[in-house]
């Protein structure tokens, strides 16, 4: 078992491990209907009382993700990332953090109201997952607001993350990322989606 660096929880649990690789999802603040937000809140409250290493925890976290995913693919909300130049801003920040902080972002997809990415910080990366996400969310929000206008929060306060324990889990997430724009009906082949890698 990998050495845990930190485990934090607000609404969502965030488990960071030494030399960890992560699947992350960030969604727009307006990307879910109110009823769905309430239902997810109930599931998160249940999650708070379950041991993080237990199979029940993993199963419930997976249920939360699938509920979220189903609704995100319905493209609810303003969907600011549907604009090519807006999606490109997110991709450019992936490139920037790779270069400046030595964090590989080898696979991602930018959807109309959310994005998924695989993050692989280098072994000597001094930044926590929380710092990485704060930078990605903060810089993309600032640039997108300057470009698109608007007020208020762009991103949902928290993000979903999953520590990927082995290569098989990594490959499942690569397949998921590539299939996301296809499943959502944006393209017929993942290679047709300019903001999927």
**pLDDT surpassing 80 at residue 4:** no
Q: What pLDDT, on a 0 to 100 scale, did the predictor assign at position 52? A: 81
- The residue ranges of DSSP E strands in 83-159, in sequence order, are 103-110, 114-121
The two three-digit tokens of residue 171, written as one number: 């490959």
pLDDT digits (tens, 9 = 90+) for 85-140: 999 999 999 999 999 999 999 999 999 999 999 999 998 889 989 899 999 999 99
DSSP state of 102: -
Separation CA 186–CA 93 (nearest Å): 23
Separation CA 71–CA 36 (nearest Å): 8
Beta strand pairing call for 22-27 and 160-163:
antiparallel
Q: Is 103 domain-assigned?
A: yes
Q: What pLDDT, on a 0 to 100 scale, did the predictor assign at position 78? A: 95
Q: Is 69 domain-assigned?
A: no
Neighbours of 109 (CB within 10 A): 23
| Total tally of structural domains belonging to the chain | 1
Q: Is 5 domain-assigned?
A: no
Q: Is 170 domain-assigned?
A: yes
Q: Is 131 domain-assigned?
A: yes
pLDDT digits (tens, 9 = 90+) for 131-182: 999 999 999 999 999 999 988 899 998 888 888 989 999 999 999 999 999 9
Q: The domain that contains 25 carries what CATH number?
A: 3.30.70.1290
Neighbours of 79 (CB within 10 A): 16
């Amino acid at each position: 078992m990998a050495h845990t660096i930190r485990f934090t929880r607000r609404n969502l649990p965030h488990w960071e491990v030494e030399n960890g690789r992560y699947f992350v999802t960030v969604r727009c603040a307006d990307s879910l209907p109110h009823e769905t937000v309430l239902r997810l809140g109930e599931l998160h409250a249940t999650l708070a009382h379950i041991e993080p290493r237990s199979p029940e925890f993993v199963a419930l976290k997976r249920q939360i993700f699938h509920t979220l995913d189903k609704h995100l693919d319905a493209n609810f909300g303003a969907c600011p990332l549907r604009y090519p130049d807006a999606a490109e801003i997110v991709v450019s920040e992936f490139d920037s953090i790779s270069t400046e902080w030595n964090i590989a972002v080898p696979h991602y997809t930018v959807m109309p109201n959310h994005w998924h990415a695989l993050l692989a910080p280098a072994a000597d990366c001094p930044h926590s997952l929380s710092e990485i996400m704060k930078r990605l969310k903060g810089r993309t929000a600032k640039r997108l607001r300057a470009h698109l206008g608007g007020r208020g929060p762009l991103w949902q306060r928290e993000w979903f993350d999953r520590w990927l324990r082995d290569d098989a889990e990594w490959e499942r997430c690569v397949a998921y990322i590539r299939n996301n724009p296809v499943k959502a009906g944006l393209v017929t082949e993942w290679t047709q989606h300019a903001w999927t890698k």
